[in-house]
Amino acid sequence: MALSSHEIKQKFLSFFESKQHTFVQSSPIVVKGDPTLMFTNAGMNQFKDYFLGNSEAPYKRVVNSQKCLRVSGKHNDLEEVGHDHYHHTMFEMLGNWSFGDFFKQDAIAWAWELMTGVYGLPKDQLYVTVFEGDAAANILFDQEAHDRWAEFIDPKRILKGNKKDNFWEMGDTGPCGPCSEIHFDMRSAEQREAVDGATLVNQDHPEVIEIWNLVFMEFNRKADGSLDRLPAQHVDTGMGFERLVRGIQGKSSNYDTDVFQFIIQNTAKLCGKNYGDNEAQDIAFRVIADHLRAVSLCIADGQLPSNTGAGYVIRRVLRRAVRYGYSYLGFQESFFNQLVPGLADYFAGSFPELKAQESFVQRVIQEEENSFFRTLSSGMGRLGTFIDQHPKGVVDGATAFELYDTFGFPIDLTDLIARERGCSVDMDGFQVALQAQKDRSKADAVKQTGDWITIMADSDESFCGYDATQCVSEISRHRTIVAKGKNLYQLVLDVCPFYAESGGQVGDSGHLIGEDGEIVRVLDTQKENKLHVLVCENLPKNMNQVFTAQVDASRRNSISSNHSATHLMHSALQEALGSHVAQKGSLVNDSALRFDFSHFGKMTDEEIAQVEVRVNEKIREGIALKEHRNVPIAEAQKMGATALFGEKYGEYVRVIEFDANYSMELCGGTHVANTSQIGFFKILGESSVAAGVRRIEAVTQQSALDYINGQLEELSQVKIALGNPKDVVSAMNKVLEENASMRKQLEQMEVEQVSALKSSLLQKVQTVAGVPMVLEQMNLPSADAAKQLCFQLKQELVNPVVVLAFLADEKPGLAIYIDEQWVAEKGWNATQMIRECAKEIQGGGGGQPFFATAGGKNADGLSAALASAKGILGA
RNA sequence: GGGGGAUUAGCUCAGCUGGCUAGAGCGCUUGCAUGGCAUGCAAGAGGUCGCCGGUUCGACUCCGGCAUUCUCCA
């Protein structure tokens, strides 16, 4: 009996724990606070700072399993996923790490021991690669790695690899080094006999696959391209968990392992089709199985589907899965969400955040599916109409692109449906239009980031903003950013009192005041990994002086007040609504606070009032802030502090406590020293942001007072306007009722007025050559009344002709009605006639042959206009 | 962040190049018909055409801005 995937992972972890490695939890799959990366795409992401030397690793040896997502940027496999058997969007990366501890010798020995000893993989089906060296880059052959491997494996199975495959770099600059890969030849004995596996390594052969990459970081690449030896050497290994399981379980597809099979079987149950019956369906099964993992884990880490950024990526992945289910498995309505519970159970041991939010995740997905099915059916309608109008024709690129771009209708569905109905699609034209849109978007996003220019080489770049809003400091480095043709300057201080935007709290603004008196405005403060970066309009002329760094303290105070109120409200919401309430987003600035949380259904007015009352009680209690810094994460959890899903916490955390029995949260933000400083808390509104997520907006301090006063002021205006009645509401209702009834009366009067005019006009009917005519000049209440009159006269008379020259609102106008019969018999045309007549009043007009109107400027010309009409009609 | 679309009756939507007294289906009200019905027939109520401004004799229609929302791209 082969090992299960859970057992395989457990063996990996315990193996390295037995080698004194410490297990570290996976960081969230959704990256926050790094503009260059949306999703975690490798195990090393969360350890980046250790390699860069920005901070020191708490453990020398680490083992982990990291959830990763590759859907955008450099690693974009999305369109291939499902069509083959080994590409994935979401995958787990197993790794063991040395931060300045063991190096090549141990890393290689342990890797071999695990592969062949623990997992029992056959030695004669394994190959390893080592870096061959690169004369041009002046790096030598990795002799040491080669020699270590040679202790275990037949030297014929040690292959040399080039810089592309066997030299790893983090970026253009920074830590780098040679790497060594383990490849597994999974072909049958006959095939192995026929073709030497060594020739298939790194050739994208589906059965000769790389399963483990050991990176030895020993160099630092400098900006000029040269390499320095690092003071401390690191090991970073990464092994794709899904392909490892496939190798050990001896399957020919990742999807045949127990990592994916239960999802595929659950899908099969829902659609009543079997996996393995035909290839098109099987692709759909695989797409769904893969995408379910990606979408569910992202939502569990707090990234909801949306129309922008990372949320949009999730939406696209989700829609791709639903699309395949719709096209190939016959799903006509939401199904994808029903696969969540099974997945949550599978991951319960490794990623419990999914199980903990199972119903939330399921609900979000279901709502998203429903919305996509609506999009599909409306696109279907549009495409259908087009094909009806162009039977057996070509759907041109512009139309196909419009369906895709504006209405979200997938291009492959357009193609499928067009072909079913005997049409074709101009795919080249579609691609041209798509490329044009991409170019447009890219041109807009042009932003250049200059290199950091260091002023103080060995600065701590520490943050003192929890304790002070002002301090003496120096500039440690700076750089220039060009965005939309505008220059902005960023600088980092040696000691920084400015809070950088994070955790929903906006960055501080303020000033730097130089010794020489120069003042530089700080517009904003942003976080880049652990750096606090000040954003300024200009740089000080003298960078090498001592500055007073001064945070805008009153703004900071308002921000802190709103942030503390957010914490109090979070607890109040849990009291009022239940323990399912969890933070899903937060924005705290100086004017207001916004808090998104998971909750199904609209909050009642009573619940909102209850939360508001509770928070204000806590404000009046005057609870002193207890701030706990550098608490080990385990201890913080023991204290009962609330942690957020999808937030990355370090080994040591900060706990913000307002009454140990009321509010305790892990938080890096700034807060008031005592809740009484919040003064007053007022909720402005409650609304929905997504399925299962509600939003509350609220204000505190002066903003709250301003809001209340604004409301009272409006009310007092209303009262004054109503004459200061005792009961404003009933007085208002009375006015509204009166208004409604008067409007009705007015309408009635207008009708009567028109009717009276009609009666008087009926007296003036003259018959010219057998045609009853009304030809009059008069005053009318509105231009619309002329139209009304014409059509009413039509009801009363038999096939009449009506010409009215009128003055309405002091403006001259004409209206001509010619019954259809005379239009046909005599060729009279109201439009032509009125253009002729309108010349007399210096105006123009038009309409249809039987009815036309005109307006003009010259009221004195009305009689002439009427005369002109009479002339034409022969009256 | 950039592009495109949408916003008309309680709901789903028509309304082409400015002028068809703003329409359809469903729903609602009333009456009639049938033993009953997601029944049939008839009559009727219900609309600041998202908001603000502009062009025009005239704007649901064209132009600009704003709001809301959908969608694609980055």
Task: Identify whether the C-beta of residue A549 lies closer than 8 Å to the C-beta of residue A471.
Answer: yes
A740 CA, B9 C1': Å apart: 19
pLDDT digits (tens, 9 = 90+) for A653-692: 899 999 999 999 999 899 999 999 999 999 888 877 777 7
pTM score: 0.80
pLDDT digits (tens, 9 = 90+) for A8-38: 999 999 999 999 999 999 988 988 766 677 8
A259 CA, B26 C1': Å apart: 49
- Number of Cβ within a 10 Å radius of residue A292: 25
List, in sequence order, every beta strand (DSSP E) within A84-125: 90-99
The HSE-up count of residue A51 (CA atoms within 13 Å, CB side) is 26
Q: Which nucleotides of strand B lie under 7 Å from a protein CB? A: 1-5, 13, 19-21, 56-58, 70-74
Nucleotide with minimal C1' distance from the CA of A831 is B19
A836 CA, B7 C1': Å apart: 40
Nucleotide with minimal C1' distance from the CA of A845 is B57
Provide the token pair at A330. 């016959």
Residue A739's pLDDT is what? 65
Give the residue with greater pLDDT, A17 vs A406: A17
A440 CA, B74 C1': Å apart: 9
- Under the banding of pLDDT at 50, 70 and 90, the label for residue A340 is very high
Task: Identify whether the C-beta of residue A45 lies closer than 8 Å to the C-beta of residue A388.
Answer: no
Average pLDDT over residues A325-344: 92
pLDDT digits (tens, 9 = 90+) for A427-471: 998 998 888 888 887 777 666 677 788 888 788 888 999 999 999
pLDDT digits (tens, 9 = 90+) for A569-601: 999 999 888 888 888 888 888 888 888 888 877
Q: What is the mean pLDDT of chain A?
A: 87
**Residue A82: phi, psi to the nearest 5?**
100, -35
Q: Which of A164, A171, A172, A177 minimizes the C-alpha distance to A219?
A: A177
Distance CA A179, CA A108 (A): 11
Give the ranges where A461-602 is alpha helix by DSSP (H): 553-577
pLDDT at residue A702 is higher than 60? yes
Residue A33's pLDDT is what? 66
Distance CA A600, CA A692 (A): 5
Angle (CA) A25-A637-A659 rounded to 5° is 150
**ipTM of the modeled complex:** 0.80
Give the residue with greater pLDDT, A63 vs A830: A63
pLDDT digits (tens, 9 = 90+) for A87-139: 899 999 999 999 999 999 999 999 999 999 999 999 999 999 999 998 888 88
CB within 7 A of nucleic chain B: A 307-309, 312, 315-316, 319, 371-372, 375, 378, 402, 404-408, 434, 437-438, 440-442, 444-445, 787-788, 791, 794-795, 813, 843-848, 851-856
Provide the token pair at A246. 């496939």
Distance CA A68, CA A301 (A): 12
User: What residue has its CA nearest to the C1' of B69?
Assistant: A307
